[in-house]
Amino acid sequence: MSTFEYLMRVKREKGAGYLLLLDPDRLDRKTLAEDVRCLGANGVDAILVGSSFLLSNDFDQVVGQIKKEAKMPVIIFPGGIYQISPKADAILFLSLLSGRNPEFLIGQQVKAAPILRDCGLESISTGYLLVESGRPTTAEYISDTRPLPRSKPEIAEAHALAAQYLGMKLLYLDAGSGAEHSIPEEIIQAVADSVSLPIIVGGGIRQPEIARQKVLAGSSFVVIGTAAEQNNDPVLLKEFAQAIHVKKI
């Protein structure tokens, strides 16, 4: 089964999937193995690895270490071409559709494509939309793009439709890591009503009940990063799983 098929199965069976984002710059290499095992024991469905601004230079090695311990797929969520590792199960092949910077719409993708072909990594075509979330985020700054206005669901909807017509397989609505405000439910609902693509929602989700609201609004996957990093609490990890998995299995 491909990683994409696995994700679709999770969505079908659990109502929505729980994705945990690991930023290599913020990982303690000494406790990494144990930390990854803890994710599996607390309901995480897949691990995302990546950062919009990566300072550490051992990406491939870190992905390998995570993969060694993970019982679930390890998926790269890349900030750029330097975040590719054949040790992962798949990569979100992102195009930053909310922006108008050609480098992140198609430039990085063209440079990455031959590398992905040669390493045989599963590429999951993903329309990536950054949405305004209060203070500027690293993703906006580094990509040199403006996010979508948070009070205009119709603009997000049009971008989502474009992603669908371009043949993308997933849509990622991101408020950015550590966002002050998460993606508004009105935006998720508007997008879910107009496209059939599975929707990933992330950025600034700090409480399990907020994660559940995103699922109830139409999100198929919820990404938790900073909240898990800052609290290092298995109980909170499990509460997120219970909130996101709306279907009892």
String marking each residue 168-207 x if it binds ligand 1GP according to CB under 6 A: ------x-xxxx----------------------xxxx--
Give me the residues paired with residue 17 across strands.
221
For the bound state, the minimum distance from the C-beta of residue 126 to ligand 1GP, rounded and expressed in Å, comes to: 12
Residue nearest to ligand 1GP (CB): 202
Cα dist from 22 to 1, 65, 75, 186, whole Å? 24, 12, 10, 28
**Residue 243 sits in the site that holds ligand 1GP (CB under 6 A):** no
Nearer to ligand 1GP, 120 or 215 (CB): 215
Q: Bridge partners of 173?
A: 129, 201
- Beta carbon nearer to ligand 1GP, 168 or 227: 227
Residue 176, token pair as written in the block: 């950015």
> In the window 21-40, what residues touch ligand 1GP (CB under 6 A)?
21
Quote the tokens at residue 72: 């679930």
Q: CA nearest 220: which of 149, 137, 160?
A: 160
- In whole angstroms, the minimum distance from the beta carbon of 179 to ligand 1GP comes to 5
Report which of 224, 186, 218 is spatially closest to residue 202, judged by C-alpha positions. Answer: 224
Residues 6+ apart with CB under 8 A from 106: 95
From the CB of 227, what's the least distance to ligand 1GP, in Å? 6
Closest separation between CB of residue 225 and ligand 1GP, Å?
Answer: 3
The distance of closest approach from Cβ of residue 75 to ligand 1GP in the complex, given in angstroms and rounded to an integer, is 13
Q: Quick check: 224 binds ligand 1GP (CB under 6 A)?
A: yes
Mark 136-165 with x for binding to ligand 1GP (rule: CB under 6 A) and - for no binding.
Answer: ------------------------------
- CB contact set of 2 (below 8 Å; sequence gap of 6+): 90, 122
Q: What is the CA radius of gyration of the chain?
A: 16
Tell the residue number behind the tokens 């559940």, with chain if given.
Answer: 212
Nearer to ligand 1GP, 65 or 143 (CB): 143
**223 counts as binding ligand 1GP under rule CB under 6 A:** yes
Distance CA 52, CA 137 (A): 10
Tokens read off for 57: 């230079």
Cβ(235)–Cβ(217) under 8 Å? Answer: no
Nearer to ligand 1GP, 6 or 77 (CB): 77
Residue 135 C-beta: closest distance to ligand 1GP, Å = 12
Chain contacts with ligand 1GP (rule: CB under 6 A): 21, 174, 176-179, 202-205, 223-227
